[in-house]
């Protein structure tokens, strides 16, 4: 699955793609497929910390000033989403950018596994993140937005973020992006129309295999 995500991210064509891995078996799989991977400390507290350590290893001189963090559990990642989050960062000049899509299924509104982005939209395509939550928010009539875990950081923002201690809301909601908001960092949100498959459980994996096999056969 991670090799598939690496390939999809590479198709975005925005720069070099490197897998930051905690296990040697992942590094071996990526390199066997022709990719590049960096083995990082398995005890790092978050994926963002893992990206930071890998970046230090491959670009210690700081030649890249923007970093896109794509999670390895998105097997049908749309390459255009990588371009969209990068475009959102550069257009808004925010510290961090991420993506969100309208929630279309009623059950997802109250599902704590679905993280909601509470956004002040400045246009149909771009807004400013006010909060992220597992609760059904905001209350009342109107659309809710499904947060998609793809992030673009300025290099300075990434350096600042990993130096921060986990925040109280981050620990309560178990959402690391709240650390940035509590520290006063800006997070821009780009609106997209589709939520990629996310694999967090065996049920998710079975569904991803079914959907991708059906697409391949169509």
CATH of 66-217, one of 2.60.120.620, 3.90.550.10, 3.40.190.10, 3.40.640.10: 3.90.550.10
Residues comprising the chain, all counted:
218
- Identify the pLDDT of residue 58: 92
- The whole-number pLDDT of residue 172 equals 96
Extract the tokens encoding 81.
């989403």
Asked if residues 161 and 185 have their Cβ atoms less than 8 Å apart, the reply is yes
**Residue 62 pLDDT:** 87
pLDDT less than 50: residues of the chain: 218
Which residue(s) pair with 97 in the sheet? Answer: 152, 188
Q: What is the pTM of this model?
A: 0.90
What is the predicted pLDDT for the residue at 73? Answer: 84
d(C-alpha 180, C-alpha 162), whole Å: 10
- pLDDT score at 83: 96
DSSP characters for the chain? -HHHHHHHHHTT-SS--EEEESSHHHHHHHHHTT-EEEE--TT-SSHHHHHHHHHHHH-TT----EEEEE-TT-TT--HHHHHHHHHHHHHHT-SEEEEEEE--SHHHHH-TTSPEEEEEESSSSEEEEEEEESS--S-SSS--EEEEEEEEEEHHHHHHHHHSPPPHHHHHHT-THHHHHHTT--EEEEE-S-PPP---SHHHHHHHHHHHHHHHH-
Which sequence spans correspond to the domains of the chain?
Answer: 66-217
Q: How far is CA 123 from the centre of its chain?
A: 22
Residue 175: CB atoms within 10 A of its CB come to 19
Please report the pLDDT score of residue 217 as a whole number.
55
Q: Closest Cα to residue 8, out of 58, 80, 66, 96?
A: 80
Q: How many CB atoms lie within 10 A of CB 20?
A: 24
Q: Output phi, psi for 142, to 5 deg.
A: 130, 170
Q: What was the pLDDT predicted at 201?
A: 76
């Amino acid at each position: 699955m991670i090799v598939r995500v690496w390939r999809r991210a590479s198709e975005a064509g925005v720069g070099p793609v490197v897998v930051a891995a905690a296990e040697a078996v992942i590094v071996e799989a990526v390199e066997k497929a022709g990719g590049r991977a960096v083995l990082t400390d398995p005890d790092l507290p978050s994926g963002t910390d893992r990206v930071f350590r890998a970046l230090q290893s491959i670009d210690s001189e700081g030649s890249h000033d923007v970093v896109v963090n794509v999670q390895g559990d998105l097997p049908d990642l749309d390459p255009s989403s990588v371009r969209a989050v990068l475009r959102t960062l550069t257009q808004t000049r925010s510290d961090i950018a991420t993506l969100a899509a309208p929630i279309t299924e009623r059950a997802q509104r109250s599902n704590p596994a679905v993280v909601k982005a509470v956004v002040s939209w400045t246009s149909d395509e771009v807004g400013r993140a006010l909060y992220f939550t597992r609760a059904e928010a905001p209350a009342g009539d109107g659309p809710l937005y499904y947060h998609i875990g793809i992030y673009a950081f300025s290099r300075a923002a990434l350096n600042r973020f990993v130096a921060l201690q986990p925040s109280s809301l981050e620990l309560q909601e178990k959402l690391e992006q709240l650390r940035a908001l509590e520290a006063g960092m800006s997070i821009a949100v780009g609106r997209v129309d589709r939520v990629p498959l996310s694999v967090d459980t065996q049920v998710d994996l079975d569904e991803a295999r079914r959907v991708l096999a059906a697409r391949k056969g169509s």
